[in-house]
Structure 1
């Protein structure tokens, strides 16, 4: 009697490559007079680069002008945008509470002035955000092009005006992640949250690496070259800059309790003057190739699709130049570099093996900055990388966990400095 053949192993999921969508005409103020035709032009340009998804944002005050009211017409606009992206062959992640976008913070009036509420700690403010996410989830549930629903963009940017503790952040995230799941229902989709780099590098920041790496369906990282002055500290063409997204992915993987948890490089970009325009194509290529060498990587989503038009006032200079397309819709050299590199990675379709050597990170919440640019651990990891090692990262409390190390494929540990 012959032995039946073993079932074929499940194929590795393909890496995802996309862009954060910034409307060319009017930036996110375009939501005030949403034009589906103009949005479709932008989305078709994005799809023309060979990208497979977009991340999209509505504005919180327009969606929820009153604590008890989510405007059906604004939700319909958002669903229409997801439809348009699908018509162009793009999948979509929707961010819910905006919140913070490109140096501007958008609060509904019911959180401000006479009605001021701390958005992280006030029970009624939390429930209002949960209502918004449940409503968006129900409206988007089952959409064939939906990747999932994210709580909002870099919500930890709001902590300066909304003081909060680590425990209160955990309660806030747990409540809103549950609301998003409830809204999406059985149709499912990813449920995620995002934070800017202070969550990883900021000493005693209330949004923690553990929250990023253990809550939601995957870990999102936003490894920006201006965080901790990385590009200015090391130089725009430096290995530290070119390996930054790779490093952020490996650092995030260390904090996860699930060794197989995916990591999404959800924002990275080439802001001038930190990355001069002439260096942007090489930066984009290096960032994608190096990040693709990380086994946990889910995908990379570039920031952003279109430059901010200079007719709009009061943006920091770097915000005007971050697009793959200029404000007239013309592709920039970085767009070609990104498109070509994505095509190469898809053609190769080879997922990297787990990293067998790991650098041990020993830090406390008050010394987290050692793992950021300028920190001793960061510099040691970068030195090893330049010497030819491809180091993973392991937290010191896991160094004696043989099952955990085996699950990650780690056979050698190097003490961090």
Structure 2
């Protein structure tokens, strides 16, 4: 048997959501973790809220860090490994940025030297505190921090790709300094793969850090265009996994499906388990998959105001820790042995130029061609246009056939494209 694909969940506390750090209750956390462990999952991803942990650039609160360590220890007692996100950042439509980066102290998150130094100090401190824990997987630099760097954010911290390169390398180096040899990475939402003017690029995602992380959400136009059970909707996570491989230098670089969920009403609650089963099955058909981490563990309490409606019902568990049908889907998948998937030998050509990456987005020709191939029974992957004739690269990835979107998609009149 190959190394097992990891199965886990993004931990959303049942009491207080991520505001639980303000009133940290280890007994409540333990009860949540007991429920997660009972499913047979093997890891969680946790989210210290950055302003609560580093309210001043030179103050990283010792008690907050101690609480994080206690949470990691409690997870370890239940057989759960832990990945910790650092810069929160952005969660469930809310921004959590320290006061020393905003308004009267407005500083660019990615280019201001003092801000960058403060962020590096914070990540290094978290990593150092957790370095001795055997169940600590590593740090994710932050949750979808790319959303701060461009539209549609209402107040973005603009930076070019070179500046983002430098920022990512500095943040990852700080993680490594604090906890050498752990699985440190960065993670962005899908604008990295789809949005032409996003300074966080596919190449950064697929080459910097220990693994490539993808976040798959079908409310990005996929489910709206195609419906809840269509091929593109049920294979969207697999598409992102395979799309990421076009930019990787390592032909077998691991990819982590770090976030995927069933957002209502596009995926109705009654259909969530079926969507999860299809999504997991299709993702597991991707070679070099490190793991699947569902969003999220527990529903958001209805006592908390102003969340988008979909956020209240994304959990594997209700707010009072009762498992839903979707939890049983993840539990069954986590326990099932499976052979390694075969190599994907057909590659669809994608543009290497990040200014043309919208061709890969929902409605773009790469997106449509990929799913036309899937609907015909193929198992495609992707290759950059700059590597489509590189025999060594293709051989290293076991690719035997290369096709372009024009060769796959019909013209509007129904004939082949030239």
TM-score range, shorter chain: over 0.9
Structure 1 unmatched ranges of 5 or more: 1-10
1:386 to 366, 375, 384: 375
SS for the counterpart of 2:349 is strand
Q: Which digits, 9 at most, give the CA deviation of each residue in 1:51-96, with x for residues without a partner?
A: 1100001010111111111111111111111001111110000111
**Which residue number corresponds to residue 166 of structure 1?**
161
**Which residue number corresponds to residue 280 of structure 2?**
288
Matches within 5 A, 1:9-408: 12-159=2-149, 160=153, 161-185=156-180, 188-227=181-220, 229-344=221-336, 347-348=337-338, 350-362=339-351, 364-408=353-397
Calculate the TM-score normalised by the size of structure 1.
Answer: 0.94
Structure 2 unmatched ranges of 5 or more: 407-418
SS for the counterpart of 1:13 is coil
* Contact 2:228 2:266 (C-alpha < 8 Å) held by counterparts: yes
Give the stretch that moved more between structures: 67-76 or 362-371.
362-371
The 2-side partners of 1:157 and 1:320 are apart by 22
Q: Following TM superposition, by how much is the alpha carbon of 1:114 offset from its aligned partner in structure 2, in angstroms?
A: 1.4
Q: Which digits, 9 at most, give the CA deviation of each residue in 1:209-239, with x for residues without a partner?
A: 1111111011000011112x11111001111
The 1-side partners of 2:225 and 2:126 are apart by 42
Q: Which digits, 9 at most, give the CA deviation of each residue in 1:259-312, with x for residues without a partner?
A: 111100000000101101111111101111110011121110000000101110
* Contact 2:213 2:257 (C-alpha < 8 Å) held by counterparts: yes
The 2-side partners of 1:248 and 1:27 are apart by 28
Calculate the TM-score normalised by the size of structure 2.
Answer: 0.94
* Contact 1:253 1:296 (C-alpha < 8 Å) held by counterparts: no
Q: Following TM superposition, by how much is the alpha carbon of 1:415 offset from its aligned partner in structure 2, in angstroms?
A: 1.5
Q: Following TM superposition, by how much is the alpha carbon of 1:370 offset from its aligned partner in structure 2, in angstroms?
A: 1.2
Q: What is the alpha-carbon root mean square deviation over aligned residues?
A: 1.1
SS for the counterpart of 2:138 is strand
* Contact 2:202 2:354 (C-alpha < 8 Å) held by counterparts: no
The 2-side partners of 1:410 and 1:201 are apart by 24
Q: Which digits, 9 at most, give the CA deviation of each residue in 1:311-361, with x for residues without a partner?
A: 1000001110110001111111111122123322xx22x111211111111
SS for the counterpart of 1:94 is strand
The 1-side partners of 2:69 and 2:352 are apart by 43
Q: Following TM superposition, by how much is the alpha carbon of 1:372 offset from its aligned partner in structure 2, in angstroms?
A: 1.4
Q: Following TM superposition, by how much is the alpha carbon of 1:135 offset from its aligned partner in structure 2, in angstroms?
A: 0.6
* Equivalenced residues, count: 401
SS for the counterpart of 1:267 is strand
**Which residue number corresponds to residue 413 of structure 2?**
none
The 2-side partners of 1:112 and 1:366 are apart by 30
The 1-side partners of 2:64 and 2:212 are apart by 29
Q: Following TM superposition, by how much is the alpha carbon of 1:400 offset from its aligned partner in structure 2, in angstroms?
A: 1.8
* Contact 1:17 1:299 (C-alpha < 8 Å) held by counterparts: yes
* Contact 1:18 1:52 (C-alpha < 8 Å) held by counterparts: yes
Give the stretch that moved more between structures: 154-163 or 128-137.
154-163
